[in-house]
Amino acid sequence: MTRIALITGGNRGLGRAAALSLAADGTDVVLTYRGGSEEASAVVAEVEALGRRAAALQLDTTVPSGFAAFAEALTSTLREVFDRETFDVLVNNAGYSGWTPFGETTEAQLDDLLAVHVKGPILLTELLAPLVVDGGRVLFVSTGLTRFVATPAYSAYASAKGAIEVYTTYAAKALGSRGITVNVVAPGATATDFGGGMIRDNDDYRAMITANHAFGRVGEPEDIGGAIRALASESAGWITGQRVEASGGQAL
């Protein structure tokens, strides 16, 4: 039976890379998008070009009141597109960077960061867990910034990600009896539109980062997609409750 992965925020960046990496490994994909329906459709087409089935569903992970309706739409999509009642891999990827200079963090900024990086993933995972097959995989996406401290302007963002790293261990224990692994991938500096694309587009900033980097380069989305594929694989069934940093040796 072909495996199915659900990837939140799969229309661009790391989510897109994860979708394509998993598809290349023989996995069908359901991706979600908040906005950017055209981007989502393009990723669906890319997955299909790899010979896999795909679907895109709209979801705002910061609005839990819409999760029940999303679960219903997902169930219908699984039946109609994939002839399944369940799926195999949940990748909680949706999110954004938060720039909160120390002493200037606002309540609204903190609420937004916690909503997308903590509240949404926790509530969505617990709602969808019954649809994940026994022996399935649940993944969260964190950040290398929970280990190495960069500018204090990332303090609130990194703290939110730190919370989901702790939750990962508890979810791993809760779902362990079903053989479902729960892990968190922590990317290092990666050339996406994170932080306005600074790592991708600013040569000086990228050079500063790579000066303290074992591999001498920043990551590419495909690097993170590969890490997600590895942890989502059937051969990774004895790895659970772990924070796996995919940074190429940044700040060692």
Tell me if 9 sits within 8 A of 32, measured CB to CB.
yes
Say whether pLDDT at 7 is over 70: yes
Rounded to whole angstroms, the Cα distance separating 45 from 110 reads 36
> Taking residues 14-37, what's their average pLDDT?
97
pLDDT band of residue 109 (cuts 50, 70, 90) is: very high
**What six digits make up the tokens of 125?**
């995972």
Say whether pLDDT at 211 is over 90: no
> What pLDDT sits at residue 194?
67
User: What's the CATH fold of domain 4-246?
Assistant: Rossmann fold (3.40.50)
Provide the whole-model pTM: 0.96
Helices (H), the chain: 13-24, 37-49, 67-82, 107-114, 120-128, 155-175, 198-201, 203-210, 221-232
Tell me if 227 sits within 8 A of 168, measured CB to CB.
no
Say whether pLDDT at 145 is over 70: yes
Residues forming a β-bridge with 186 = 245
Residue with tokens 């940074």: 247
User: What single letter denotes the amino acid at residue 74?
Assistant: L
Say whether pLDDT at 203 is over 90: no
Q: How far is CA 43 from CA 18, 179, 246, in A?
A: 11, 30, 23
Say whether pLDDT at 247 is over 90: yes
> What pLDDT sits at residue 190?
92
Which residue ranges make up each domain of the chain? 4-246
* Of 96 and 202, more confident: 96
In whole numbers, what is the pLDDT of the chain averaged over residues? 95
Q: Which of 3-7, 113-117, 187-191 has the lowest mean pLDDT?
A: 187-191
Q: Which of 82-86, 173-177, 192-196 has the lowest mean pLDDT?
A: 192-196
Task: State pLDDT tens for residues 27-64.
Answer: 999 999 999 899 999 999 999 999 999 999 999 999 99
Tell me if 227 sits within 8 A of 244, measured CB to CB.
yes
| Contacts (Cβ under 8 Å, ≥6 apart) of 39 | 11, 12, 16, 33
Nearest residue to 60 via CA among 36, 41, 43, 42: 36
